[in-house]
């Protein structure tokens, strides 16, 4: 499984994230997007109305590398008093044409993010302190996903 | 003035945005960050604890181009029934060392975003339809800021 149980639960509770792509000149672009988790295949699907006419579509056609973040404020602070929590997924986009779009208003063309690195903060149970780590990063976890 | 009155009001009502930077290999990275608007100079300030030890700091040292988005859902839908609204600011970061950090827990080193392009959706008053524009983009505005 690409995602942990805690990550799947967190993503299932959220419908909006922010997707960063690379523009033709190498500069970044970031926008809010709705997303659908496909836990079985370990991918995150993103669509849109007239998606193929958007700059983000042209961006991922030229360079499939993206970063996608979902985050919010927890009602329960962690032991350090922090309420921020979330996940950043770095990966590569595969453009998939669906038989039926994610929702009726969307184009059938859909972006599927294949995670290569997953970084989370305050999503998993708060473990013992990591001595070498900065205090504000104690709640962080990250791992690489082999393709 | 870099920002319009509506943009200043919108940014003043929000404290959290998402900052996209470019990693050394050219891939994007995006994270939630607190921000402070400096309406007088037309810049957005972003700090952090141990900021200079963060990857985003190293990223902007190597390539100052960033994209920063602030968005939320409006309680009042626009005439098209859309509730999403927000701003994307594309620009360049200047690293500024403050006499006093933005907040006590932060490093004095601070990222000041100088906007080069500002894109907003459903922030300004909803104007007449633009015939050439896709329906879901009717509420969009964008403009370039000369440096």
What does the pLDDT average to over A7-31?
Answer: 97
- Quote ipTM for the complex: 0.95
Closest partner residue to B20 among A28, A53, A71, by Cβ? A28
What Rg do the C-alpha atoms of chain A give, in angstroms?
Answer: 16
Residue A146 near residue A92 (C-beta atoms within 8 A): no
Q: Per the domain annotation, does B125 fall within a domain?
A: yes
Residue A86 near residue A121 (C-beta atoms within 8 A): yes
C-alpha distances (whole Å) from B126 to each of A34, A137, B31, B81, B87 are 23, 42, 30, 12, 15
Contacts of B90 (CB under 8 A, 6+ apart): A27, A28, A29, B65, B66, B67, B68, B115, B116, B117, B118, B119
pLDDT digits (tens, 9 = 90+) for A50-104: 999 999 999 999 999 999 999 999 999 988 888 999 999 999 999 999 999 999 9
Q: Per the domain annotation, does B116 fall within a domain?
A: yes
What does the pLDDT average to over B2-27?
Answer: 97
Long-range contacts formed by B130-135: CB under 8 A, 24+ apart:
B134/A49, B134/A50, B134/A53, B135/A49, B135/B80
Q: What is the pLDDT of residue A134?
A: 81
Q: Per the domain annotation, does B89 fall within a domain?
A: yes
Closest partner residue to A90 among B27, B32, B136, by Cβ? B27
Q: What is the pLDDT of residue B63?
A: 98
Beta bridge partners of A28: A22
CA A94, chain centre distance (Å): 14
Tally of domains within chain B: 1
Cβ-Cβ contacts under 8 Å, B19 against chain A: 30
CATH of the domain at A76: 2.30.110.10
Q: Per the domain annotation, does B95 fall within a domain?
A: yes
Q: Per the domain annotation, does B60 fall within a domain?
A: yes
Q: Per the domain annotation, does B147 fall within a domain?
A: no
Q: Which domain holds residue A123?
A: 5-144
pTM of the model: 0.95
User: Minimal Cα–Cα distance from B125 to chain A, Å?
Assistant: 21
Q: What is the pLDDT of residue B89?
A: 98
pLDDT digits (tens, 9 = 90+) for B81-111: 889 999 999 999 999 999 999 999 999 999 9
pLDDT band at A130 (very low <50, low <70, confident <90, very high): confident
């Amino acid at each position: 499984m690409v995602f942990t149980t805690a990550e799947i639960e967190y993503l299932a509770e959220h419908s909006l994230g922010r997707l960063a792509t690379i523009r033709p000149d190498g500069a970044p672009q970031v926008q809010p997007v709705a997303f659908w988790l496909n836990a079985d295949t370990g991918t995150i699907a993103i669509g849109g109305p007239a998606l193929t006419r958007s700059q983000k579509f042209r961006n991922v056609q030229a360079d499939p590398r993206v970063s996608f973040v979902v985050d919010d404020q927890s009602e329960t602070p962690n032991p350090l008093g922090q309420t921020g929590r979330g996940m950043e997924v770095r990966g590569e986009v595969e453009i998939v044409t669906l038989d039926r779009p994610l929702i009726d208003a969307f184009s059938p063309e859909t972006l599927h993010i294949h995670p290569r690195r997953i970084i989370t903060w305050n999503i998993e149970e708060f473990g013992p302190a990591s001595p070498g780590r900065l205090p504000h990063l104690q709640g962080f976890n990250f791992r690489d996903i082999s393709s």
